Structure 1
Amino acid sequence: MENIIVLNVNYKFGDMEGTIHPVVLRDKNEMILVDCGYTGFMSIIEDAMRTENLDCNKLTKIVITHHDHDHMGALADFKHKYPDVKIVASEIEAPYISGEKKSLRLEQAESLQSTLNEEQKQFGRAFCDILKSVKTVEVDEFVHDGEVMNWCGGCEIVGTPGHTPGHISLYIKNKKTLITGDAAALENNQLVIANPQFTLDVENANKSISKILDYDADTYICYHGGVYKKH
């Protein structure tokens, strides 16, 4: 039993409405959630898992592709409710997830404040407050580019820097499936840079999209946009 389950999590967050796509990897030993939504999203992710007949009490790991608030916002709630769950991330992202280092997204947002008009500054301050409110969590296990985990018959950690420096994607070889995180978003049936205005290193982000497209994958699961079929 090796399954990849794409969750469809519909949300309203402030003035925004949309859908995010966390992913569950399940085999006989593990049930792994990849990314976990905004702050306060645990219950709707639990509901999405139950819809797929998944028992949240069987979660063994949560993989965080990077430290943005829409990917790790609910992490502290999950860890509090399911304390045995191990948190997995790249060694580069881990200090931002744990709070050892200040969020790069918060640094970026604060640095942009002086360039905004008064109306935009109001939004900018609110965005900074949202980022500051994200609860940090210690990372239990570091993973690295090229490392192959024994999840779902073999899951390769793919270093995909650009959106953030330590961003990772996941490649499940025997399913020819790649979970992109924010290394790519699906727009108009094309894989594109996710939120280029927030991408910290566009040059590396472009290299990372090229890198994941070079994999022998038929299916790409994008956190923003859903499932893309290559062929």
Structure 2
Amino acid sequence: MSRCNILEIEFEYSGQKQTIAPVLLQNEYDIILIDCGYPNFISHLEEAASKYDIALDSLTKLIVTHHDMDHIGSLAALKRAYPHIDIIAHELEAPYIEGKKKSLRLEQAESTLNGLPEEAKPHAEQFIRFLQSVEPVPVDRTVSNNERLPWCSGIDIVHTPGHMPGHISLYLPANKTLIAGDVVVIERGKLNIANPQFTLDMGEAVLSVQRLLDYDIDQIICYHGGLFHGDVKQALRQLIHEYTF
């Protein structure tokens, strides 16, 4: 049986306190990191992993849920520091992670810039420069929907588009746990759609939440919010209801 360790990382961003929750999967053969935070987050990851007596140089693989900068910001730096780590992402996300296509978040930010009031433009331009600074990195293996990866007692790839077209969540059948990425977040103790104003296709995002009901989930871990406490299926149904009616 593999262990599922939540790395709760608290930090300040744009003057506000934030928390993200990358996940470390661990068994006797592999240590797999799911998402890796903003740029320059290696020290945060090291500190959080050390609480489980895990050193980053023992990582074997890194699975990316999607190419937003808070999920891949330290990816290139980690690959440089530990080149043996295999980078894994959905086949639709790989071109953006590798820099072969422009980041969809960058395209979105650039397309809305001219419509902003003048006082908001400096902050938006700073955000665009930040997105442009994220380094590309080669993807070692691409995955697709319903694929089962054999590591850590089995990892099922769940394609959950909407937030991004190639967004994936990961289902661990051995302990009935879903690593959600940004398909849902926890806000004030409730599940919600991640950043609706930034979600590229809200209809697809709601359908992705609906798709999660096909899985026997006892626990759900959100990148923004950590471990959800409550009845997962009931919370998912309530969220779908809120966005459908």
**TM norm structure 2:** 0.92
Equivalent in the alignment of 1:89: 89
Gaps of 5+ in 2: 232-245
| Aligned-partner residue type, residue 133 of structure 2 | S
| Aligned-partner residue type, residue 127 of structure 1 | F
How many angstroms apart in 1 are the aligned matches of 2:118 and 2:167? Answer: 33
**TM superposition outliers: structure 1 runs of 4+ over 2 Å:** 13-16
Q: Kindly indicate whether the alpha-carbon contact (under 8 Å) linking 1:75 and 1:137 is maintained by their aligned counterparts in 2.
A: yes
| Aligned-partner residue type, residue 95 of structure 1 | P
Stretch moving more, 189-198 or 129-138: 189-198
Equivalent in the alignment of 2:185: 185
How many angstroms apart in 1 are the aligned matches of 2:65 and 2:212? Answer: 14
How many angstroms apart in 2 are the aligned matches of 1:50 and 1:95? Answer: 32
Gaps of 5+ in 1: none
How many angstroms apart in 1 are the aligned matches of 2:16 and 2:64? Answer: 22
1:95-114 CA-partner distances (Å, limit 9, x unpaired):
00000000000000000001
Over the matched positions of the two proteins, sequence identity in percent amounts to 48
**TM norm structure 1:** 0.97
Equivalent in the alignment of 1:215: 215
Equivalent in the alignment of 1:194: 194
Stretch moving more, 184-193 or 173-182: 184-193
How many angstroms apart in 2 are the aligned matches of 1:29 and 1:136? Answer: 28
How many angstroms apart in 1 are the aligned matches of 2:114 and 2:134? Answer: 23
How many angstroms apart in 2 are the aligned matches of 1:30 and 1:131? Answer: 31
1:6-45 CA-partner distances (Å, limit 9, x unpaired):
0100111232321000000111211000000001111111
How many angstroms apart in 2 are the aligned matches of 1:32 and 1:123? Answer: 35
Q: CA deviation at 1:115?
A: 1.2
Equivalent in the alignment of 1:58: 58
1:188-213 CA-partner distances (Å, limit 9, x unpaired):
22221101110000000011111123
1:101-140 CA-partner distances (Å, limit 9, x unpaired):
0000000000000110111111110000000000110000
- Match runs of 1:133-172 below 5 Å: 133-172=133-172
Q: CA deviation at 1:214?
A: 3.3
Give RMSD over aligned pairs. 1.0
Equivalent in the alignment of 1:117: 117
Stretch moving more, 210-219 or 118-127: 210-219
How many angstroms apart in 1 are the aligned matches of 2:56 and 2:126? Answer: 32
1:10 aligns with 2:25: no
Aligned length: 231
1:45 aligns with 2:45: yes
